[in-house]
Amino acid sequence: MFDPAAWLQATRPLAQVNLVVPLWLGQALAFASTGAFSLPTLYGAHFLAALLLLVIVFSNDYADRDADGANTTYNEFSGGSRVLPEGRLRPGELRDAAWLALAGLVGLSLYMAFGTGRPWTPAFVAAAALLVWAYNFAPLRLSYRGGGEVVQGLGTGVLLPLLGFYLQAGSLAAFPWLALVPLFLLGVVGNILTSLPDAPADRQADKRSYAVRRGQWAARRHSLELLVMATLMGGLVVPGLGTLAVALLAAPALVLVARCVPLLGSADAEQRDECRRFILLAAGAAHLQCVLWSLALIVVGLLRDMI
């Protein structure tokens, strides 16, 4: 019997922020660099993101079904949607739903290619599908073999900002390529953070996530170090920023990072409340930084049009 609540749970709506924020930032970069902005294009871009999220979360749940079933330290940021361990859906249903979402994603990309004059949109979708495959499935299965954080960095920190920019601007000719350095780092941080609650189950399942390979304490420390590095690279993202402006834009995120420091030594997966708090603060810092950069880029674009 069709269970709407189970399917809603499987879509993991909270995870949408991981795609929306970098896609939005890419569009803000296009506005600041070229002045290009179209509201229908923004809607289309985020519909693409919604379908891509379905491909990602359904594929992840299917690929991780054994590890998720043994996971007792998960939270809302990790451990999958829980529909398979709870018996609310069957693995084959999620597998088929992932293929259906991918078909919809390809169809929408073809419409945007031929209907809106963005011929390279299907290439971005193909690259995204390749990253999902490399992350989850044999022969690479990098989330298990090690390197999943690089795949996520490429997906959320490189591919999505480029896609957002391309959809608005129509080309990548004016893209500020150095902006991808801090964005990639933030994508890596996102993967490290979501590996923290799952470390015990991942170790048992021989899943070599960052927290398993480096240890939970080192993973927490590295996530904060990478966060600080990225936030201080605002001048690569927002053109014309001086040192003071970079510091001002970084300050709110750095406050959240500072609040993570007391949790460094104690927020292991087994301490579920502290682990959750650490992730909330650190992930919040990363997303907040991207939002502040996006707002600054919008201001740059508005001033550009006034000059």
pLDDT digits (tens, 9 = 90+) for 54-106: 999 999 999 999 888 888 888 887 888 999 999 999 999 999 999 999 999 99
How far apart (Å, rounded) are the C-alpha atoms in residues 168 and 23? 11
How far apart (Å, rounded) are the C-alpha atoms in residues 5 and 99? 20
Summarize pLDDT for 99-131 with one digit per residue, the tens.
Answer: 999 999 999 999 999 988 999 999 999 999 999
Residue 73: what pLDDT? 86
CA dist 52 → 76, 155, 156 (Å): 19, 11, 11
- What the block records as the tokens of 217 is 């304490």
153 burial via Cβ count (<10 Å: 0-12, 13-18, 19+): buried
CA dist 111 → 62, 160, 216 (Å): 29, 18, 44
Give residue 42's Cα distance to chain centre. 18
pLDDT band at 257 (very low <50, low <70, confident <90, very high): very high
Residue 1: what pLDDT? 62
Query: Into how many domains does the chain fold?
Result: 1
pTM, to two decimals:
0.95
pLDDT band at 303 (very low <50, low <70, confident <90, very high): confident
The residue segments making up the domain with residue 110 are 4-306
Residue 304: what pLDDT? 75
Query: Running DSSP on this structure, what letter comes out for residue 241?
Result: -
How far apart (Å, rounded) are the C-alpha atoms in residues 198 and 76? 11
How far apart (Å, rounded) are the C-alpha atoms in residues 124 and 261? 38
Residue 234: what pLDDT? 96
Residue 307: what pLDDT? 57
